[in-house]
Every structure is written in C-alpha cells, then in structure tokens.
Amino acid sequence: MLDDTIRAGEWVMLKLPSGNSKIFVLKADERVELGKFGSFDSNNLIGRHQLVPYEVVGDGNIRPVENLDYLQEFDLGDTEEDASNMTIVDDPTSQRLTHQEIEELKSQSLEGKVDHSAVIQKIVQNNAAFEKKTDFAKAKYIQRKQRKFAKIFTPIKPTTRLFCDFYLAKKPEKTREMRIDTLSQIMTFANVRAGSRFLVVDDASGLIVGAMLERMHEHGKIFALHDKETPNFDLVRMLNFSDEVMSVVSSLPWFHLHELPPFVAPSHPDALDRAQARRNQLERTRDDILAGAFDGLVVASRFDPKEILIKLEPLLAPSKPLVVYSPTKESLLEAYNHVRLSRRFVNTQLTESWLREYQVPVFNSGTHPTMMTSGSGGYLFTATTVVDDGVRIEKAGAAPPGTGGQTMGMAKKRKVAGSGSAKDEAANSGADSTDAGACTADSDVAQTVADAANVGNSTME
C-alpha cells in the first residue's frame, strides 16, 4: 500500500503557483525557500499528507487550503453582451493602484498580515478594463494574478510521470527527451508486470527502471546493463523506493558481460570482505544474465541499437517482446532492418509517439489545443521473438523445390490451350516428378513444356 505521509529524508516535489516545481530532499530543522512565494520551516511539512495544497502564512508556518477553486472567491460581474477583447488596450494606466501600493500589499502578504486572495481581489477591483473582458478573459486574468501573488504549494512524492514532465521541460537530455505517453507505450509493449524477468539497457537516468519498479514492486527481477562501473540511476534513487523494492534490480557493466577480470585481493581485511562480496555479486548477476530466458528486452541507449540487439537477442525467451526507444528515427533504421530480415522475430514495427494536449474549458467556452506543445515524443521499435525451426514456408502458387519454377508456367500454358487431356497430362506429369524426384524428371518436364508451347502457338495462330 502506498504511503501518502511525507517523512524526513525523502525526496519531495513542490508544485508552485507559477507552474514551476522544486525537487529536493526534505530534512528536519531546515528552512525551505520558495523565492517570491516566501519560505517555511521543514518541520511544519514533515508528517503531513502529500497532494494537499498548503499556504505559507506568517513567519514559516503553513496551513492546508480548504478550497483551491479560487475562482469562486471572485465576483466576475455581469459580462456585457457585446464584450470583446478587441477594444481592450494593454495600458498600465488601467490599474488604479500604484506600483508602491502593490509592493506594500505583497510585503504584507508575505508577512501573513493580508491574505493573498485579498491582494488579488483588490488588484482586480482597481482594474478599469476588467469589466470589459469576456468571462474567459476574466478567468485567465485572475489565474495570472494567482500565479504571481498566491503562496500556495502542493507537495508531491516523485513519480516517473512527474519526472517525464519536469525534465522534458527543464533538461530533456537527462531522460533522452522521453515523454510520458512514450514511456506508457514502452511499459505496454514490453508487458511489464509483477513476477517477470527483464533485461534493460537504460541510459535515461533510470527512468525506465523506475517505471518498471512502480509496476513490479518487489516481485520479479530486473537486470540492467550499463557502460560504466556503476549505473547512473539518479531518478530511481529519487523515487523513495524501499530496500525490498530495490533488491529487484541487479546491474552489470557491459565490459563484464562476457568475462570478468582477474580478482585482485586488497591487503586490508575490511576492504577484502567488501571486494569479495562485490565480486560474488558480479558473478551471480553475470551468470543470471547469461542464463537467458528473459520475459522482455527494453533498450533506451545512446549506443548503436543494432550492436546491442546482436549481443542480447539470444537471451530472450520465445514469444517475448523487444522494445527499443530513441529520440531520432535514423538511429533505429539499421536495427529495424536487421530484425525485420531475421527469422527469429515477427510483428516488427517502427512507430512515432504523438500527443496533443488540450486546455481545460472555462465557463463552457469549449476545448482547444494548447498553443505550445512538443513536436515529437520519440520513436519506438518493437518486435516479438519466435522459434526458428528451419522450415521455410513457400508463398502460395510458388513452384515446388527442384522444378526450376517451370511447373507453374506449364500449368498456365495448358490452361490457355484449353485441352482437357493436356490438363490431365500436366497433373500426371507433376505427380510423377514429385514421386521420382527432381533429378529423374528433368527430361519429362522439358518435353512436356515443349509440347505445351507447341499447343499454345497453334492456338494463337
């Protein structure tokens, strides 16, 4: 069961009114700075519940916000029938309050003397152009003032979905520009579930491994390959998983996959015990990986996907999924062609993730797409493993092996001739050639083809 209580020493994300977020480790007896939105004592947040909006009041205190629908606190007034934003001029003189008066209200709000809603209400009442706006424009105006003056924040425990949105906007290279809809498709195509064994190559700071752990918890096993001595799974560490959940993950460097280096024993006894334990862990992980029979392979690497698949595809069990992600299509083409021509994979697909976000309607004004959105969510290459039994399935209508492709042409020419006896002869000749073998029937087939050609020529004449 998920725990919604915020505890000291855990990572937490604060959603600010401006739309920005702050991610940090919550420690006791510290001051949490929120910039222009004030600050509060960390002890006042420890022990409270996440996903509850809190307001900064006074000197370092916070209180829960009972009603976050702040539009209900404002009287939008009667909108004129011919109200239009076309007649509104963006003129600072429309605000009757001076800059000094607004700054004084902000200072009083930070000190806790004036509620932030009262500040916004006073600014709205002193705006001469407010009544000329449409209902939709009034709501947007209040929302802008809310983002600027409100001191309300919402604490949230980090999730992979939050990381997708946060780093896509702030630092997309950290997660290889992966979007939440693309991550959801990866989990679906790979059929990630509890109790399964997965082989993963994750160069997205642990975003894929973290998403798998959210589904699997402590049931199953994840083996991760990385290019350095230790994996770069920063996001996994920030997800506040317990030791039981983290025990599901085992990692191994690429250069240890096929052969481990000779063990060099340290001279210090304590260092020797740690080195021996590390060596035993590497040997167990390597043996488990080379044993194969994995339930799926997921790759999101900056290296060549084709070379990765050549090394790892033998470790997949039959009828299991293969999923490869890349922010660019060109890096997947060679791997796609390699797998498509292989007899060990079926249902090969190369797709692009596409997502359109819509604004939430206000006062029944209808929905419409947001003005700014991401151009692409990356590309996914998927396939399913099968067992190659060595039997080749010929296409319908193809000639049997050993006839040189002449049987189909012979039957076609006999059909043109329209002779019933010729049809019987073709069927008998085909049966004889099948029974006797391709080598002994060459002369008969050649003679039959010559006869059919003569009959066809006489028919055309």
Closest CA to 309 of 391, 382, 210: 382
**Is residue 57 very low, low, confident or very high in pLDDT (cuts 50, 70, 90)?**
confident
Give the pLDDT band of residue 17 (cuts 50, 70, 90).
Answer: confident
Q: Report whether 175 contacts 191 (CB < 8 A).
A: no
pLDDT of residue 63: 87
Whether the predicted pLDDT of 300 surpasses 50: yes
CB of 205 closer than 8 Å to CB of 232: yes
Q: Are 348 and 382 in contact (CB under 8 A)?
A: yes
Q: State the chain's mean pLDDT as an integer.
A: 80
Q: Which residue has the higher pLDDT, 78 or 305?
A: 305
Q: What pLDDT, on a 0 to 100 scale, did the predictor assign at position 11?
A: 96
Helices (H) and strands (E) in the chain, counts: 14, 14
Q: What CATH number labels 160-385?
A: 3.40.50.150
Question: When comparing pLDDT for 127 and 50, which is higher?
Answer: 50
pLDDT recorded at residue 267: 79
| Residue 109 three-state SS | helix
Model pLDDT for residues 120-177, shown as the tens digit of each residue: 888 888 887 777 777 777 877 887 887 788 888 999 999 999 999 999 989 999 999 9
Q: Assign 362 a pLDDT band (cuts: 50, 70, 90).
A: low
Cα distance between residue 203 and residue 303, in whole Å: 9
**Structure tokens of 110?**
């930070």
Which range of 91-105, 113-127, 284-298, 373-387 scores highest in mean pLDDT? It is 284-298
pLDDT tens readout for residues 198-241: 999 999 999 999 999 999 998 999 999 999 889 999 999 999 99
CATH number given to 1-157:
3.10.330.20
Extents of the domains making up the chain: 1-157, 160-385, 406-460
Burial 214-245 (b: 16+ CB within 10 A, else e): bebeeebbbbbbbeeeebebebbebbbbeeeb
pLDDT for 419 equals 43
> How far is it, in rounded angstroms, from Cα 83 to Cα 129?
11
For residues 296 and 186, the answer to whether their CB atoms sit within 8 Å is no
Segment 420-429, tens digit of pLDDT? 444 444 444 4
Question: If DSSP codes are grouped into helix, strand and coil, which group holds residue 171?
Answer: coil
